[in-house]
Amino acid sequence: MSVFTIEAGLAFLGLVLLLVEAFKPDICRRTLGLMAIAGTALALVLFVFAKHDTASLPGFMQPWHQLDTLALFYKGFALVITILVLWLTLECAPYLTRFTVDGKLAEMFSLPLIVCAGMMWMASARDLVTVFVSLELVTVSFYVLVAFARKSAFSLEAGVKYLILGALSTGVLVYGIAWIYGATGTMSFDGIAKALANPATNKTAALFGAAILLCGLGFKVAAAPFHMWVPDVYQGAPTPVTAFLSVGSKAAGFVVLTRALDAFLVENSIIGTEIQSLLLVAGSLTALLGSLPAMFQTSVKRLLAYSSISHAGYLLLALACRESPRFDLSSGGVVAFYLATYLPMTVLGFLGLGLMRANGLGEDIKDFAGLAKRNPLLALLMTVSFASLAGLPLTAGFLGKLFVFLGLADHGYWGALSCAIIAAATGFYYYFKTVLAMFTTEGTDAPALKLSSATRAVAGLLAVAILVLGVYPKPLQKLLKPASATMAARN
Amino acid sequence: MSVLEIIIALPLLAALAIWLGAPAHATSLGATLLNLLIVLVTTVQYAGKAATGLAFTYSRPILDNPSLSFAVGADGVSLILALLTTLVMLAAIWQIQDRPAIFYVSSLLIGGGALGAFLTTDVFFIYAFHELALIPTFLMIALHGRAEPAQRKAVAWKATIYLGAGSLVLLAGLAWVVLEFSGGSKLTFDLEALRNQAKLTPLADAKQAQIFFVLLLGFGSLVSLFPFHSWAAPAYATAPTPVAMLHSGVLKKFGLYGLIRIALPLLPQGPHVEWVQNALLLMLLGNILVMGLVTIHAHRLDDTLANSSVMHMGYIFLGIAAGSDIALKGAVVLMFAHGISIALLFGLCGRMRNQLGTLEYNKLGGLATHAPAFTVLFAFGAFASIGLPGLTNFAGEVMIFVGSFTDFKAGVMSNLQWTVILALWGVVMSAVYMLRAYRNIFHGSPTTGLFMIDPAFSQRVPFIMLATTLLVTGCCPWLLLNLMKSAL
């Protein structure tokens, strides 16, 4: 079975679920959710056993799509995060329904499937048009998802902000694409790379187009200075959607960035040095502007939003470091590795947050007080998640950061490295502030917090994934290794 | 599979078991006792071997390139420190009474982390295990420290910020080492590979000095090297007893161990380049003289102990600055001795606080009449700390002083030799504050209203164990030195 069929099937399933809900309004939301999860899980299984070479794609798709290791990795990534987000939606359903107009959650289960299909397409894009179409498929679905809890003023505000800035950034992105097309005469990444390696190409136009394109993508991945929307939108959006934005949308943005930068920073690229400096500056700024304000947050959800910005900063810095012979992972590989470690820790953090809300608690740091008494297991799991986000050794988060920092040091980008280290150091402060709150004994009179066994299993699995990746990352590296090989071959 | 892996895993597994509901006291005591026995047997085995260098090695690769593996291996230095860790762990856990399970769990995690740091030979894991041990330290100070919640949180944060920043500087230094010594092909974190490369292609002295200085700042702030020491005294004074014992006794030695194990072999000229040496000598004199005066000024027992613990690090840094074989071995002996003696003193201090409710010198007095056994045990710790011959600290200090004062030519005194002369005054200061503390607490007329009795015999055992260790290794320092036959 071709991967393309699976993707199309996933989008189709999304539409079917939408219709089911429309024609059978009294269907139980749990059934709907489980159907979506089952469908995505089936897609994941089929995906694992599907044919994994570009030749297996339908002929008409081949000029636009490719199936290299990186694409396959991000496709699997998209499926996994979608399953987790759907699960998270089910967990949060009891309080989410209070804020929806008709007390239902139908689109909350079907839209993620369409987003997932979009992300999967984006992963294999080899052309700016494909990128644009799939990016819009994802972004437009997110417009709806962010504003889903319409009765909540926060969610509404978040929706409006996301819509306006998203539309603006789309415009900027298209503008950049147009300039690049003007400068290079092509929209395919391979063609752009070839044109940029040719000294005859108009440098000013190409540089302008590339910079504008990076601005547009910078908005999608929340890179400074286009990160201002993130805290409000993340805080206002329903928690599962925030997790989806923070992991899925970010990964999608970074796969496109990886592809685009592989083209822009091709060997002998006429705009190589400029784009690289741009990335270093943007990455350092993003890491700092994410981390420093995070210290002063009182809401954990907002804190996670800022932390997500700073993680985007590290990822940008990883992209700025090109291949090094002393290092097995290419910059794209490091980004993929980082995102793979970022997935379990972020989802686990948001899962904990969602469970707090589902049990009638708030999202402020002070609401976490005494969590260790109320539910030791949840406190332990959240500690693992936060320790990994902070980048504590022996957790997955440390290795991702280590790769980024080693890459920066190996290339001698000392300024960017110091910014990243400062950001990481402040990270320790604000994550452990929250962990400390969980273990304080004050406020322990609150009732115990109960989790279903399924929830415990999912959360436990995520925590185990964090720890296993932290001490045994070899399989993941192996998974990503051919990616670097093919990219090196292409460049 | 290496026996060292069992030694590292045992406390961590016990901690997990307790978290999952196993009886805390029995599990942790059993695991620690078993671990001590295993370490003892392993040490004896190592001493029996004619071979020097790393033994009991085993490596499990976890990443190809950069090459990263869970590699264990021990030489005399690591075994001495492992022995120190297990001894202090056993004492610290044994003396816990009527405390929630988190006391046991955190003690096991701190000890397990320290064992991991001492017995692994991959830079990545050496660093990682130390971090693992730091987290429960902070949490315990913040949550169960002996002060008002606001104050103990402030103390915990101060320690966190100092140690966190120190760890990051250290990480930067280690990354620098890895980048410099990996050789051309791929990055490696394996200490042996790095050492071999350092032997093959030593760096220029000036560069060695730079890297050494970064590592010195990183490792140094973990060991409360002056002027990065101000977190230590309040943290120890506030920390719950087992945490104070384990951190000041064991975990703090990690920084010194790192300098001896990582910095010196890779950067042998680092501490001898003039500017680094002068900086180091100034800083260690700060530890000995400034902190010595601060300690004399303290008027509570926990303050005295906490500050003295910072002060004594100066001698060990002196051994590292001198770098001669005798001085370095003396530094290791003193690390062991200081760990045992300070753990003994903190343990006893914790009991006093529980029974008396105060540690102010002007409120205490005459306890010797009520608690003779307690007094004797305390005397062991106090006299060891002063450096009384016959107890281990003396052996270490003498070796450091002698080893640092080599190449004496009349009329031409090097900075190092001047430092030794100044540092010797630290011994006098130690005598002043320790003897004064001892006299104020145990002699004189008993204060009315304050009453203390000897602990029950089973509760004396951990302290007797530590005191005996001091006496045995003090009278027979060759027991430790035999483990370090080759030059460090």
- Taking the Cβ of residue B16 and every Cβ of chain A, the question of whether any pair is shorter than 8 Å is answered with no
pLDDT at A485 exceeding the cut of 50:
no
CA distances, B182 to each of B121, B175, B193, B332, B374 (Å): 15, 10, 8, 28, 53
Query: Using CA atoms, how far apart are residues B318 and B419, in angstroms rounded to an integer?
Result: 8
Query: Using CA atoms, how far apart are residues B469 and B42, in angstroms rounded to an integer?
Result: 18
* Chain A residues inside the 8 Å CB shell of B141: none
User: Which of B127, B160, B171 lies at the smallest CB-CB distance from A432?
Assistant: B160
What are the residues whose beta carbons fall under 8 Å from the beta carbon of B472, sequence distance 6 or more?
Answer: B479
Q: Give the chain A residue whose CA is nearest to the CA of B116.
A: A394
Taking CA B248 as the corner, what is the angle to CA B122 and CA B378, rounded to the nearest 5 degrees? 140
Q: Which amino acid is at B389?
A: P
| Residue pLDDT, tens place only, B103-133 | 899 999 999 999 999 999 999 899 989 988 8
Q: With H, G, I as helix, E, B as strand and everything else as coil, classify residue A188.
A: strand
In a mutagenesis test of the A interface, which of B99, B120, B126, B131 is the best target, namely the one with the most A β-carbons within 10 Å? B131
Contacts of A289-293 with CB under 8 Å at 24 or more apart are A289/A224, A289/A225, A289/A227, A289/A313, A290/A224, A290/A227, A290/A423, A291/A422, A291/A423, A291/A424, A291/A426, A291/A427, A291/A430, A292/A423, A292/A426, A293/A231
- Contact check, Cβ <8 Å, A428/B160: yes
* Chain A residues inside the 8 Å CB shell of B185: 325-326
Strand partners, A271: none
pLDDT at B399 exceeding the cut of 60:
yes
pLDDT at B449 exceeding the cut of 80:
no
Q: Is A131 exposed, middle or buried (0-12, 13-18, 19+ CB in 10 A)?
A: buried
In a mutagenesis test of the A interface, which of B139, B158, B167, B178 is the best target, namely the one with the most A β-carbons within 10 Å? B139
What are the residues whose beta carbons fall under 8 Å from the beta carbon of A173, sequence distance 6 or more?
Answer: A132, A135, A212, A213, A216, A217
User: Which of A328, A402, A432 lies at the smallest CB-CB distance from B65?
Assistant: A328
**What is chain B's Cα-based Rg?**
21
Q: pTM to 2 decimals?
A: 0.85
Across chain A, what does the average pLDDT equal? 86
Contact predicate A474/A392, CB 8 Å: no
Instruction: Please give the backbone phi and psi of residue A358, each rounded to the nearest 5 degrees, phi first.
Output: -60, -25
Nearest-neighbour CA in chain B from A480: distance (Å): 12
| Residue pLDDT, tens place only, B312-351 | 999 999 999 988 889 999 999 999 999 999 999 999 999 8
In the structure, what pLDDT confidence band is assigned to residue A325 with cuts at 50, 70 and 90? Answer: low
- Taking the Cβ of residue B103 and every Cβ of chain A, the question of whether any pair is shorter than 8 Å is answered with no
In the structure, what pLDDT confidence band is assigned to residue B478 with cuts at 50, 70 and 90? Answer: confident
pLDDT at A227 exceeding the cut of 50:
yes
pLDDT at A326 exceeding the cut of 60:
yes
pLDDT at A406 exceeding the cut of 90:
no
Query: Using CA atoms, how far apart are residues B381 and B56, in angstroms rounded to an integer?
Result: 33
- Contact check, Cβ <8 Å, B135/A328: no
For residue A319, how far is the Cα from the chain centroid? 15
Q: Which of A404-418, B78-92, B116-130 has the lowest mean pLDDT?
A: A404-418
Q: Which of A22-31, A212-221, A347-356, B98-107 has the lowest mean pLDDT?
A: A22-31
pLDDT at residue A490, rounded to an integer: 42
In the structure, what pLDDT confidence band is assigned to residue A486 with cuts at 50, 70 and 90? Answer: very low
pLDDT at B147 exceeding the cut of 60:
yes
User: Which of B64, B161, B172 lies at the smallest CB-CB distance from A477?
Assistant: B64
Q: Which of B137, B106, B89, B101 is nearest to B25 (CA)?
A: B101
The token pair that represents B298 in the structure block: 């303290």
pLDDT at residue A324, rounded to an integer: 66
CA distances, A164 to each of A157, A169, A242 (Å): 11, 9, 18
Q: Is B421 exposed, middle or buried (0-12, 13-18, 19+ CB in 10 A)?
A: exposed
Q: Which of B251, B159, B146, B263 is nearest to B209 (CA)?
A: B263
Nearest-neighbour CA in chain A from B341: distance (Å): 31
pLDDT at B220 exceeding the cut of 60:
yes
| Residue pLDDT, tens place only, A339-359 | 999 999 999 999 988 888 887
Query: Using CA atoms, how far apart are residues A109 and A37, in angstroms rounded to an integer?
Result: 9
- Taking the Cβ of residue B203 and every Cβ of chain A, the question of whether any pair is shorter than 8 Å is answered with no
CA distances, A237 to each of A147, A157, A245 (Å): 6, 9, 9
Residue A100 host element (H or E): none
Q: With H, G, I as helix, E, B as strand and everything else as coil, classify residue B453.
A: coil
Instruction: Please give the backbone phi and psi of residue B476, each rounded to the nearest 5 degrees, phi first.
Output: -125, 70
What are the residues whose beta carbons fall under 8 Å from the beta carbon of A199, sequence distance 6 or more?
Answer: A270
Query: Using CA atoms, how far apart are residues B315 and B286, in angstroms rounded to an integer?
Result: 11
Q: Is B208 exposed, middle or buried (0-12, 13-18, 19+ CB in 10 A)?
A: buried
pLDDT at residue B116, rounded to an integer: 93
Please report where in the chains the tokens 């017995």 appear, as a residue. B119
CA distances, B124 to each of A71, A124, B191 (Å): 31, 35, 9
pLDDT at A62 exceeding the cut of 60:
yes
pLDDT at residue A489, rounded to an integer: 43
pLDDT at residue A491, rounded to an integer: 38
The token pair that represents B371 in the structure block: 């608690």
Please report where in the chains the tokens 């300070």 appear, as a residue. B342
Query: Using CA atoms, how far apart are residues B105 and B113, in angstroms rounded to an integer?
Result: 12
Query: Using CA atoms, how far apart are residues A437 and A72, in angstroms rounded to an integer?
Result: 40
Contact predicate B64/B86, CB 8 Å: no
In the structure, what pLDDT confidence band is assigned to residue A476 with cuts at 50, 70 and 90? Answer: confident
Q: Which amino acid is at B1?
A: M
| Residue pLDDT, tens place only, A248-290 | 989 989 999 999 998 888 888 888 888 999 999 999 999 999 9
Across chain B, what does the average pLDDT equal? 88
Alpha helices in B95-147 (DSSP H): 101-119, 123-144
Peptide bond into B240 cis (omega under 30): no
Mean pLDDT of A376-403: 88
Nearest-neighbour CA in chain A from B170: distance (Å): 12
Contact predicate A455/A330, CB 8 Å: no
Query: Using CA atoms, how far apart are residues A341 and B149, in angstroms rounded to an integer?
Result: 35
Contacts of B131-136 with CB under 8 Å at 24 or more apart are B131/A392, B131/A393, B131/A394, B131/B167, B132/A392, B132/A393, B132/A394, B133/B109, B133/B251, B133/B254, B134/B163, B134/B167, B134/B251, B135/A387, B135/A392, B135/B109, B136/B105, B136/B106, B136/B109, B136/B110, B136/B243
User: Which of B70, B135, B187 lies at the smallest CB-CB distance from A327?
Assistant: B187
Q: With H, G, I as helix, E, B as strand and everything else as coil, classify residue A375.
A: coil
- Contact check, Cβ <8 Å, B64/A424: no
Contact predicate B450/B313, CB 8 Å: no
Taking CA B123 as the corner, what is the angle to CA A415 and CA B107, rounded to the nearest 5 degrees? 110
Contact predicate B289/B425, CB 8 Å: yes
Mean pLDDT of A301-305: 91
Strand partners, B63: B68
What are the residues whose beta carbons fall under 8 Å from the beta carbon of B353, sequence distance 6 or more?
Answer: B146, B302, B359
* Chain A residues inside the 8 Å CB shell of B143: 436, 439-441
Angle, helices A29-49/A3-23, rounded to nearest 10 degrees? 170
Q: Quick count: other Cβ atoms within 10 Å of Cβ A437?
A: 20
Nearest-neighbour CA in chain B from A387: distance (Å): 10
Query: Using CA atoms, how far apart are residues A346 and A234, in angstroms rounded to an integer?
Result: 13
Please report where in the chains the tokens 């202090």 appear, as a residue. B88
Nearest-neighbour CA in chain A from B322: distance (Å): 32
Query: Using CA atoms, how far apart are residues A381 and A354, in angstroms rounded to an integer?
Result: 14
Residue B57 host element (H or E): strand B55-63
| Residue pLDDT, tens place only, A107-139 | 888 899 999 999 999 998 988 999 999 999 999
Residues in chain A: 491
Percent of chain A past pLDDT 90, that is, above it, reads: 36
Q: Give the chain A residue whose CA is nearest to the CA of B124.
A: A393
Q: Give the chain B residue whose CA is nearest to the CA of A469.
A: B62
Q: Which amino acid is at A35?
A: M
Q: Give the chain B residue whose CA is nearest to the CA of A329.
A: B65
pLDDT at residue A375, rounded to an integer: 82
The token pair that represents A371 in the structure block: 């969590």
